Amino acid sequence: MSTVATETVTAPAVADRWYRVVWSSKKARVGIVVVAIYTLVALLAPVIAPYGPTDGSFTPLTGPSAQHLLGTNVAGVDVFSQVIYGSRVSLIVGLLGGLLATAIALVIGMVSGYAEGTFVDDVLTFLTNTALVIPVLPLIITLVAYSDTRGIPLIVGVIAFTSWAGAARSKRAQIITLRNRDFVTAAKFSGDGTFRIIFSEILPNMTSLVAAAFVGAATGAIGAEAGLAVLGLGSSDSVSWGTILYQADAAGAISQGLFVWVFVPGLVLAILITSMAFIIFGIDLLSNPHLRED
């Protein structure tokens, strides 16, 4: 008898597994597949790319050909290989920048929301609102411009440090709706500390919101890195899609009719960012069941 009862109780829960919900959205499926392909390309870059990303042994500034699908740049480097290797920079900056920015946003937003109305909240809210009104890109550019050697960690750090505010604000609003639920009161009475309540009692109830915030932050970080690199402020030890565009613009690629050199790096970037937006649609189905398709 008891086994039958448990089965009927658990059946609907299984049907609503989070990966099924996300996968049920056509947009999210497309997004996940595309991001998976990008990840594979990044991991297998040495196998897929015909030449090294810095191998300048070819005739400079040639148009597309069978040997060089996207032509070569001023230094005689194969642009197609650069694009393949460039996926590594975008994905790593997206992953790390997204994680770091989300972590900062979580700590500041959750603590501030949980302590709503107190002095701590006032200070953190002021910090958040200030970070929100300062234009991000000029600040990132100013911070990065001071360093001569720019590694990926510096770029990731600066992007995360400047772009957490929007997410922190929405986390604050979300925790305010959760913090007076019974399970929080129960945790309080059982003597749990504030940090424990926030991060191990309340946070698990916000997983899908946090996941959506992470993908959003990762998208922002990828866009910001591309913007920096287009200005020539990209990482000094690796080539990203933005760097390729910077080199193409500096070499006057367009006036020389080398169109694919400009077109393809921007296109692969746009496809990646669109796919990530699609994934967010899928994650939103978890936090808002009204959006689910039948």
Partner 1 sequence: MRYFARKIGFFVLTLWAVVTLNFLIPRLQPGDPAELMVQNLAGKNAQLNRAQVEAMRDLLGAPSGSLFSQYWSYLGQLAHGDLGISYTYFPYTVAEVIGKAFWWTVILVGAVQLLSFAIGILLGAFAAWRRNSRFDTSVTVISTFVGTLQPFWIALLLIYGLGYGLGWFPTAGGYEASTPGFNGAFLYDALSHAFLPALTLMIVTPIGWILGMRNTMIMNLGEDYIRLARAKGLPDRMIALRYAARNALLPSVAGFALALGGILGGTILVESVFDYPGLGRLMGEAVGIKDYPLLQGLMLLTAVATLVANLIADLLYGVLDPRARRAAA
Residues 6+ apart with CB under 8 A from 190: none
- Contact segment (CB under 8 A) with partner 1 among 5-13, 42-50, 59-67, 135-143 equals 135-143
Q: Which of 267, 176, 160 is nearest to 213 (CA)?
A: 160
How many angstroms separate the most distant Cα atoms in the chain? Answer: 79
- Contact segment (CB under 8 A) with partner 1 among 7-15, 58-66, 72-80, 243-251 equals 243-251
By the rule CB under 8 A, 146 interacts with partner 1: yes
By the rule CB under 8 A, 101 interacts with partner 1: no
Q: Which residues in the 211-240 window bind partner 1 by CB under 8 A?
A: 223, 226-227, 230-233
Residues 6+ apart with CB under 8 A from 194: 111, 114, 115
- One residue of 30, 37, 48, 139 binding partner 1 per CB under 8 A: 139
By the rule CB under 8 A, 89 interacts with partner 1: no
Q: Is the dihedral of CA 270, 274, 279, 280 positive or negative?
A: positive
Name the minimum Å distance from CB 163 to partner 1.
Answer: 11
Rounded CA separation 40/48 (Å)? 10
Name the minimum Å distance from CB 215 to partner 1.
Answer: 13
Torsion angle of C-alpha atoms 151, 128, 224, 203, degrees rounded to 10: 80
By the rule CB under 8 A, 141 interacts with partner 1: yes
Measured from the CB atom, the residue of 128 and 174 that comes closer to partner 1 is 128
- One residue of 135, 193, 204, 289 binding partner 1 per CB under 8 A: 135
- One residue of 43, 123, 270, 291 binding partner 1 per CB under 8 A: 270
Torsion angle of C-alpha atoms 10, 11, 17, 22, degrees rounded to 10: -150
Q: Is the dihedral of CA 80, 85, 253, 73 positive or negative?
A: negative
Which residues bind to partner 1, rule: CB under 8 A?
126, 129-130, 132-139, 141-143, 145-147, 223, 226-227, 230-233, 245, 248-249, 254-255, 257, 259, 262-263, 266, 269-270, 273-274, 277
